[in-house]
């Protein structure tokens, strides 16, 4: 970490710090760019002194990092690396340049059917990936869904995420009240995946109408929760019949009757437009029995990401489970983290390669322009008597920028 004269962060690792993107309870999110290839990233800066007052916060952040490390999907924000010094923890994450879907909706007031469907298809694809990998987001809302430079969806903020362990229900009330499912606001044990599907229904309704399906003017939480628990959603007729049917299926009060991801994908409205290319790759279920090879010498770095998931009590138990002949979710997650690291290394290598090739093309173009500029100068020298400096200055700019 390096600071400038004002004491503000200038560098974090290989990244040059730029403007502030947002401020949260635990710190700031800064825009930054890689000093070598110019790649833009977001850096979530978390003050470590908060951990002393709130030990649970450390566990929450460690779990968020571990969950994000498990995932690699085009519609889920990627975490590239985690850095730290004596005062701060730095999460280097993918940058979504067009910000929150919430702000986009406020600007548009309501989203037209075709665009809303495209957004929803991408959200469902990302959530399906999470659920197939036994991850429940538990805080899906418009503010936690971002848009990248192509206006593609990026699901973010996994601070409330939890693993869905087979034959176990979740108990913690979390998330935003307006997006919370009836079983969550009733403080009952709940299936996190079913709760996520309800939140998807709230998001879809909001995109198409510009309003939340359940709201209270005076922010009366008791009345809001009663609406969510007991009142069927009222859907305006401006929404097509097929889409109304899907929203009602998503916002079904009884979790066991709520529509599944598979049925969402087969719904007529969902299929009324071709899937985006990024949503077409089939997502496989995590199968514990499929990972049979025992792990006797586990990578310490991967163990550090597995422990915060709290599937086992300590590192000794973790290594014993990994080396056991019995199939386990822990071993599946270990292999997932291992595979994901290979994919991230490949992605990073590709970006570096792209930057090098781009630089070569620009230099080559600069040489061509330099040569053409020289020919023009010779012509102009004889006829007008001045020196053409512009073609020569351009290559200097590009060399400085890309080195």
* Cβ contacts of 14 within 8 Å, gap of 6 or more: 34, 35, 36
CB half-sphere exposure, 245, CA atoms < 13 A? 10
For CA atoms 216, 229, 232, 201, give the dihedral sign. positive
Whether the pTM exceeds 0.85: the reply is no
Instruction: Return the pLDDT at 123.
Output: 98
Q: Which residues are catalytic?
A: 139
The one-digit pLDDT tens for each residue of the chain (403 residues) are: 665 534 577 889 999 999 999 887 778 899 999 998 899 999 999 999 998 888 888 888 999 999 999 999 999 999 999 999 888 999 999 999 999 999 999 999 999 999 999 999 999 999 999 999 999 999 999 999 999 999 999 999 998 999 988 788 999 888 899 999 999 999 999 999 999 999 999 999 999 999 999 998 777 899 999 999 999 999 999 999 999 999 999 999 999 999 999 999 999 999 999 999 999 998 887 776 667 788 999 999 999 999 998 888 899 999 999 999 888 889 989 988 988 888 887 776 666 666 666 666 666 665 555 555 545 544 544 443 333 333 322 222 222 222 2
Instruction: Return the pLDDT at 370.
Output: 52
Instruction: Return the pLDDT at 137.
Output: 97
CATH number attached to the domain at 2-95: 3.30.200.20
Name which of 165, 111, 157, 103 is nearest 135 in CA terms: 165
Instruction: Return the pLDDT at 362.
Output: 62
Q: Cα(273)–Cα(275) distance, rounded to whole angstroms?
A: 6
Name which of 372, 348, 347, 365 is nearest 402 in CA terms: 365
Residue set of the binding site for ATP: 48
Domain positions in the chain are 2-95, 101-279, 288-294+304-336, 345-402
The domains spanning 2-95 and 101-279 adopt the same CATH topology: no
Instruction: Return the pLDDT at 284.
Output: 80
Copy the structure tokens of residue 40.
Answer: 């833009």
Q: Cα(219)–Cα(176) distance, rounded to whole angstroms?
A: 13
Q: Cα(335)–Cα(80) distance, rounded to whole angstroms?
A: 18
For CA atoms 156, 318, 343, 359, give the dihedral sign. positive
Q: Cα(316)–Cα(73) distance, rounded to whole angstroms?
A: 31
Residue set of the binding site: 48
Instruction: Return the pLDDT at 393.
Output: 27
Q: Is 101-279 in CATH node 1.10.510.10? A: yes
Q: Cα(273)–Cα(122) distance, rounded to whole angstroms?
A: 12
Copy the structure tokens of residue 178.
Answer: 């307006």
């Amino acid at each position: 970490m390096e600071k400038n004269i004002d004491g503000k962060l200038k560098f974090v690792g290989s990244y040059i710090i730029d403007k502030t993107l947002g401020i949260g309870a635990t710190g700031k999110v800064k825009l930054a760019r890689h000093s070598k290839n110019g790649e833009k990233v977001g850096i979530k800066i978390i003050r470590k002194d908060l951990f002393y007052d709130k030990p649970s916060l450390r566990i929450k952040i460690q779990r968020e990092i571990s969950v994000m490390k498990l995932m690699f999907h085009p519609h889920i924000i990627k975490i590239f690396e985690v850095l730290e010094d004596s005062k701060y923890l730095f999460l280097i994450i993918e940058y979504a340049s067009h910000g929150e879907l919430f702000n986009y909706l406020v600007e548009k007031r309501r989203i037209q059917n075709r665009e809303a469907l495209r957004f929803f298809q991408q959200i469902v694809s990302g959530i399906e990936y999470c659920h197939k990998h036994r991850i429940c987001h538990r805080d899906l809302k418009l503010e936690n869904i971002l848009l990248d430079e192509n206006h593609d969806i990026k699901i973010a903020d996994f601070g409330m995420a939890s693993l869905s362990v087979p034959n176990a229900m979740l108990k913690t009330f979390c998330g935003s009240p307006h997006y919370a499912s009836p079983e969550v606001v009733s403080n009952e044990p709940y299936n996190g995946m079913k709760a996520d599907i309800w939140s998807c229904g709230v998001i879809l309704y909001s995109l198409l109408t510009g309003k939340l399906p359940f709201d209270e003017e005076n922010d009366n939480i008791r009345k809001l929760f009663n609406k969510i628990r007991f009142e069927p959603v009222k859907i305006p007729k401006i929404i097509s019949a097929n889409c109304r049917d899907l929203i009602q299926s998503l916002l079904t009060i009884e979790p066991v009757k709520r529509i599944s991801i598979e049925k969402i994908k087969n719904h007529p409205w969902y299929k009324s437009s071709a899937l985006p290319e990024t949503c077409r790759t089939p997502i496989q279920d995590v199968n514990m029995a499929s990972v049979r090879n025992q792990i006797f010498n586990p990578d310490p770095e991967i163990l550090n990401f597995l422990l915060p998931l709290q599937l086992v009590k300590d590192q000794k138990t973790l290594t014993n489970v990994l080396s056991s002949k019995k199939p386990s979710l822990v071993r599946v997650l270990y292999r997932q983290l291992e595979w994901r690291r290979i994919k991230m290394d490949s992605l990073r290598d590709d970006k570096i390669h792209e930057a090098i090739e781009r630089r070569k093309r620009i230099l080559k173009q600069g040489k061509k322009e330099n040569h053409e500029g020289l020919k023009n100068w010779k012509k102009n020298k004889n006829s007008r008597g001045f020196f053409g400096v512009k073609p020569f200055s351009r290559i200097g700019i590009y060399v400085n920028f890309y080195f």
